[in-house]
Structure 1
Amino acid sequence: MAESPTAEQLESVLDTTVQASATWSLDPPTEAPGVFLHYWMDILSLVIALVGLVGNSIVLWLLGFRTQRSPFSVYILNLAAADALFLGSYFGLSIWEIVGDLNHFFLLLLELCLLGLPYCVGLSLLAAISTERCLSVLFPLWYRCHRPKRMSVTLCTFLWALQGLFWGLLVALYFLNKDQFYNYFYSFLPFVQFTWFSLLTCVLGVSCLTLVLRVQCSSQRRRPPRLYLLVLLSVLVFLLCGLPLGVFYAVRFFSSFYLIPFGLSSLLACVSSSANPFIYFFLGSQWRRRGREPLRVVLQRALGEEQVGGDGAKDTSHPNIVGRLS
């Protein structure tokens, strides 16, 4: 049996995940262009995280207290919560690293869990949203008649509980038995997370391709529904901006090779988590209308394509289907 890794080895591995934010200083560094670039990437990441936190908080307020919920809005509400938690954790931990005085190794472990939990939940929710949209496109009749009534709430609860149990078990294992924690960190954690990450990434890729073909076919006859565009844009933004952070962790846990710098991957992840509110409000805006509309109305319009049938036209034969599914 292989010898268990030491705490120093584990800290060396974890330290690479936050090396950009850990090298901050209050004055701009001037020793090397690379350090200077890292400094400004970190500042830009904090600004984007703060803006995205405000945007996702607005979505949470509107969907949680100001609008009537539908099956799709439940997914968007939980996705906004995951993005807000990721951005808030990133912003808080980055500030804490600058001004705080905490055990370095514990801070690295805390950062890994607080960022990993909402990241994995967001990825899982996007996979669930895109898969459900594909089912509604490929099997519209089955989707209308046989979709479970509380599937959105049940699935979101399951995904939060699954990831919370996983990362909570990791923290508990660290405090209860550190030697056992080292073994699981080097063997069990990377394997499980890499498998889950790879599976959901494949699901996102297939569903994204399906939605692209569906939107392309719809655009030849009529303007594609906003809901398909919303899901497609959210998935594309994640694949372009959110995926590099997962790739960084996956590659770093299995080798010492740096496929992408952590500072750049965290910056792109902040962009991915901050972009969704702007996608919602952009798609829900009526540019031809004069005057400003309430954000609640704009958001409802962006999410208001629940009655779209499989051929892209509004479903008029089942006008109350949204109420029955919710």
Structure 2
Amino acid sequence: MTEATPTSESYVDHPPICDIDSLPPKALIFTISLVGLTGNASVIWFLGLRMRRNAFYTYILNLAVADFLYLCFHIADVLLEVIRIILPIHIPTYGIIRTGAIIFYIAGLSMLSTISTERCLSVLWPIWYHCHRPRHTSAIMCALLWCLSIVLSTMEIVCFFHFNEAIDQCKNVEFTIAAWLVLLFVILSVSSLSLLGRMLCGSQKKPLNRLFVTIMLTVLVFLFCGLPFGVFFFLYYWIDNNYHVRFCLYLVSIILSNVNSSTNPIIYFFVGSYRQRAQGWNLKLVLERALQDTPEEGECGGSLPQGTLETSEGRVEQG
């Protein structure tokens, strides 16, 4: 997103960290992204090739793909900036990095909102969910969300570069994308709060399980780390018209969004390995436990037969 930002203003009297040529924040973004790439690549490997997919596995796989590609584009952006600083050359990207980052940010938020909503439905209306849920819902929803993310991002980048966002059509595009993200955020918030209330409160509260903890931690991390990037992106032209203020806010939002995309695999490992003996750790087994939909023995009075790790969504037709 920095590629289309004017850089001709003076840098005098501004913190060095806000200088576009400052290397420490780029090094931090690069390091966080590398960690996230490793974790998301492991999730993609196991969910895509080593484990039998079901409803939630499909969503988690697509979320990992969105996070992986989002981090890839930011690593490419950092490398191009470092090359520009070290060598006096300009490498045109024609908005590809900007477009890619927007696509995968929107896709990631869309997948997370869908995961929370489906889990909420499976808890509030379990009979309908397990007996009347349409076949291949997960695969169809993921395909639609990817297509919508690509269309919205392409429309935005066309306006940004060809019309300089000065005409009503581009304002309508920006409003449409903003409205979609707001809708996703509302859906995510309502479904998460409903799920939280059903699992923890009331006379019919459900026993806790690892899948619930995984989803709640993922949503919580997004609210603190992923949401600021979306807020900054759509408030960019209403922020104080000072390049350094905007660039500092941009750096903060980018670092936080990279933390968000890198943290999900860590959450899966933490939840999946909790209360498990170290000698029994196995990445595939840990991931299965993190997505486990039945309470284990000793957790809220529930029990899990020995060796049973498959989530109840496995009874729903794959995809």
Match of 1:192 in 2: 176
Q: Write the mapping of 1:42-121 to structure 2, written as runs, cut at 5 A.
A: 42-99=26-83, 101-102=89-90, 106-107=93-94, 109-121=95-107
Cα–Cα, structure 1 residues 111 and 189, in superposed 2: closer, same or farther, change >3 Å?
Answer: farther
The question of whether the paired residues in 2 share the 8 Å contact of 1:13 and 1:253 is answered with: no
In the alignment, is residue 15 of structure 1 matched against residue 5 of structure 2?
yes
CA–CA distance in structure 1, aligned partners of residues 70 and 301 of structure 2: 34
Contact 1:83 1:122 (8 Å CA) reproduced: yes
Distance 1:33 1:322, change over 3 A: same
- Which runs of structure 2 are paired with 1:1-326 in the superposition (5 Å)? 14-15=4-5, 32=15, 34-35=17-18, 39-99=23-83, 101-102=89-90, 106-107=93-94, 109-171=95-157, 178-179=162-163, 183=167, 186-217=170-201, 224-256=208-240, 261-305=249-293, 322-326=314-318
Measured in 2, the distance between the counterparts of 1:167 and 1:46 equals: 24
Identity %: 35
Q: Compute the displacement of 1:289 (Å).
A: 1.8
Q: Measure, in 2, the Cα distance between the counterparts of 1:170 and 1:64.
A: 31
SS state at 2:198 partner: helix
Query: Runs of 5+ in structure 1 lacking a partner?
Result: 1-10, 24-29
- Normalised to the residue count of structure 1, the TM-score between the two structures is 0.78
TM-score (normalizing by structure 2) = 0.80
Q: What SS class does the counterpart of residue 325 from structure 1 fall into? A: coil
Is the Cα–Cα contact under 8 Å of residues 59 and 142 in structure 2 kept in the other structure?
Answer: yes
Q: Name the SS for the 1:284 alignment partner.
A: helix
Partner Cα distance (2:186, 2:301) in 1: 25
3-state DSSP of counterpart to 1:197: helix
Q: Distance in 2 between matches of 1:231 and 1:46?
A: 27
Q: Which residue type is aligned with residue 232 of structure 2?
A: F
Q: Could you say what the CA RMSD is over the residues aligned between the two structures, in angstroms?
A: 3.7
Q: 1:320 to 1:299 in 2, by over 3 A?
A: closer
1:107-139 deviation line (CA, Å, top 9, x unaligned): 5x3332111000000001111110111111211
> Secondary structure of 2:52's partner?
coil
Shift of 1:184: 6.5
Q: Which amino acid aligns with 2:63?
A: L
Distance 1:273 1:321 in 2: 25
Deviations 1:83-122 (A, max 9, x none): 0010011011111122154466x55x33321110000000
CA-CA distance at 1:47 after TM superposition: 0.7
Kept in 2, the 8 Å contact 1:225–1:312? The answer is no
SS at match of 1:159: helix
Q: How many residues align?
A: 297
Shift of 1:142: 1.4
Asked if the contact 1:227/1:302 (under 8 Å) is kept, the reply is yes
- Which deviations, in whole Å up to 9, do the C-alpha atoms of 1:32-76 show, x marking residues without a partner? 454489643332121111100110001000111111111110000
The one-letter code of the counterpart of 2:111 is L
| Alignment CA distance shift 1:171-1:227 (3 Å) | same
How far is 1:230 from its partner? Answer: 0.8
